Structure 1
Amino acid sequence: MPHAVLFATTVQPLPEQAAAQAAELPESAATVATTAGGGGFDVLQLILHASLPVQVVMALLLLASIASWVIIIRKKRVLDRAQREADQFEERFWSGVDLAKLYAGAAERNRSITGMEAIFEAGFREFNRLRQRRGGDARLQLEGAQRAMRATGSRELDELEHNLEFLANVGSISPYVGLFGTVWGIMLSFQGLANMKEATIATVAPGISEALIATAMGLFAAIPAVWAYNRFANRVERLTVRYEAFSEEFSSILQRQAHAEE
């Protein structure tokens, strides 16, 4: 009896709709595999298909990132040169060379001086000028030299700190600009779901992916800028300490020289 029931049972043919769905499954699987595979995640295509506000945000972040890298490269060269020139000048200054000869070398025409050498040149020039005018008034000579060195030191430090503010602004603002583009893109994606009867992850995934690119670009612009700002600010601070220490030591030398002449 069980054998009879088994042989009596026949396989029913699939309905036309079920057969069509079954035929479409391999094609859908192939499409998903292609998208998740090597050429599916195309950042350029996501950027090109993003909405106009999101594209504007991405363009601003790209420009900020390029400008940051230009400033980072240039600022590194400037700080490396300032540190190298400070080392070389301190070596000459403390080698026992005559200050008048050192000043003559710094005051040569057609020669650009910066950093510590510029501070020395400004202080020694003002010291000599006041010494010729006011005779043996050592206090006024020393005060004039110190003012000249402070003014020159401020200009040199201002040059070293130039564009650091831009790096700080890019590092602090870029993530929020990228987040604005992401929020705008996600808002448009969900707004498009209002006209759809059936909402699936496949319908909102492209829009959300395009929007999240803005956040990624914001982080890409911010991280190098923050790192460079912290590093360069630290190097500028160390150079500031060196310049101030040299000014104090040179003031002591000028003070002894002025009292010896009295």
Structure 2
Amino acid sequence: MTPLSMLLQATQVEPLPEEATASATELAAETGAAAAAPVGTELDMLQLVLHASIPVQLVMLLLLFASIASWVIIFRKKRMLDRAAREADRFEERFWSGADMSKLYAAATERNREIDGLEAIFESGFREYSRPRGRRNPDSRAQLEGAQRGMRVATARELDGLEHNLEFLANVGSIAPYVGLLGTVWGIMISFHGLANVREATIATVAPGISEALIATAMGLFAAIPAVWAYNRYATKVERIAGRYDAFAEEFSSILERQTHGDE
């Protein structure tokens, strides 16, 4: 047997003490927990808003009111436009079903009954057309022009009601991002101004102020995006309804013109 083999047999591997084993286990557990723990804390939006400067808070409050008002207008305008489309469908179905126009006019002028949309346009046109018929030798051209004028006025009145508050949505959609940006710029200015008394500026020193300021931009976008979407959608719907009103007025004028020539 060689001296090297005898030396290896003589050397015995001694186990680690129990205390050393326990210490190693605890160290490994602490290391794993530290690796699994998140690096930063969760973002608390409410705290960022409450700790923002007064001008930034005023900007946020203004944007909050604009957002709430926009959503109220969005829901109300949806109900109004859907109702106008349904009523236009119902009246066109009755009008083109061959019903007597005198009966339609009598139904439109019933007491305690509010009319709008196509029915209001029809009522206005037929009222102006029937007004001079009781006179002797009525002028058919004046009758037709009066009916057309009455329908134009009624159409303008109906469209004005449908377009009401759409301008507010357009203003919120175009101005809200800039208002939010104003609050962000102001908050960043205040954050950097506060570093004048700090000898060593770090990310931990600047980050809270910048985070508070950026909330204003986020709120501006939150108010603007739904307003822009709703304005584009509802403006398109109003244009379609206006097209239906104009088409009905033209067709009704043609019917009255043929009736006038038939009476002559």
TM range (shorter): 0.7 to 0.9
Structure 2 counterpart of 1:20: none
Say which of 23, 32, 36 aligns to 2:40: 36
The corresponding residue for 1:184 is 186
Q: How far off is 1:259 after superposition?
A: 1.3
Equivalent runs, 1:178-217 vs 2, <5 Å: 178-217=180-219
Question: What secondary structure does 1:97 align onto?
Answer: coil
Q: Which runs of 5+ in 1 are unaligned?
A: 1-25
Residue matched to 1:90: 92
2:154 to 134, 137, 152: 152
Q: CA deviation at 1:174?
A: 0.1
| Letter aligned with residue 102 of structure 2 | A
Which amino acid counterpart does residue 62 of structure 2 have in structure 1? L
* Alpha-carbon distance in structure 2 between the residues aligned to 1:97 and 1:114: 19
Tell whether the 8 Å contact from 1:78 to 1:160 is kept in structure 2 after alignment. yes
**115 and 209 in structure 1: CA distance in 2 versus 1, 3 angstrom threshold:** same
| 1:91-145 deviation line (CA, Å, top 9, x unaligned) | 0000000110111111111000000000000000110002223634111000000
Match for 1:82: what amino acid? Answer: A
Report how far residue 34 of structure 1 moved: 6.5
8 Å CA contact retained: 2:121, 2:151: yes
Q: 1:34 to 1:49 in 2, by over 3 A?
A: farther
Structure 2 spans left out of the alignment, 5+ residues:
1-29
For 1:219, the aligned partner's letter is: L
Identity, % of aligned positions: 75
For 2:73, the equivalent position in structure 1 comes to 71
Cα shift at 1:157: 0.2
* 3-state SS of 1:199 partner: coil
Structure 1: distance between partners of 2:212 and 2:180: 12
| Partner Cα separation in structure 1 for residue 193 and residue 39 of structure 2 | 25
Q: Which residue of 2 aligns with 1:99?
A: 101
TM-score (norm 1): 0.86
Question: C-alpha distance in 2, partners of 1:245/1:67?
Answer: 34
Counterpart in the other structure of 1:254: 256
Q: Which residue of 1 aligns with 2:176?
A: 174
Indicate conservation of the 8 Å contact 2:125/2:151, yes or no: yes
Q: 2:261 & 2:231 partners in 1: Cα distance?
A: 45
1:142 counterpart SS class: helix
CA contact (8 A) 2:116 2:158 kept: yes
Please, what TM-score do these two structures have when normalized by structure 2?
A: 0.85
Deviations 1:52-103 (A, max 9, x none): 0000000000000000000000000000000000000000000000110111
Q: Indicate conservation of the 8 Å contact 1:136/1:261, yes or no.
A: no
| Partners of 1:257 and 1:55 in 2: CA distance | 67
Amino acid at match of 2:211: S
| AA at the equivalent of 2:97 | S
Equivalent residue number for residue 121 of structure 2? 119
| Aligned match for 1:236, one of 215, 221, 238 | 238
The count of aligned residue pairs is: 231
Name the CA shift for 1:35/1:186 in 2 (closer, same or farther; >3 Å). Answer: farther
Dislocated runs of 4+, deviation >6 Å? none
Partner Cα separation in structure 2 for residue 158 and residue 169 of structure 1: 18
Counterpart contact for 1:136–1:258, Cα < 8 Å: no
Distance in 2, Cα, partners of 1:91 & 1:168: 35
Q: C-alpha distance in 2, partners of 1:222/1:157?
A: 25
The two structures, once aligned, show a CA RMSD in angstroms of 1.5
Which residue does 1:18 correspond to in 2? none
In structure 2, distance between residues paired with 1:202 and 1:153: 62
Q: 1:35 to 1:111 in 2, by over 3 A?
A: farther
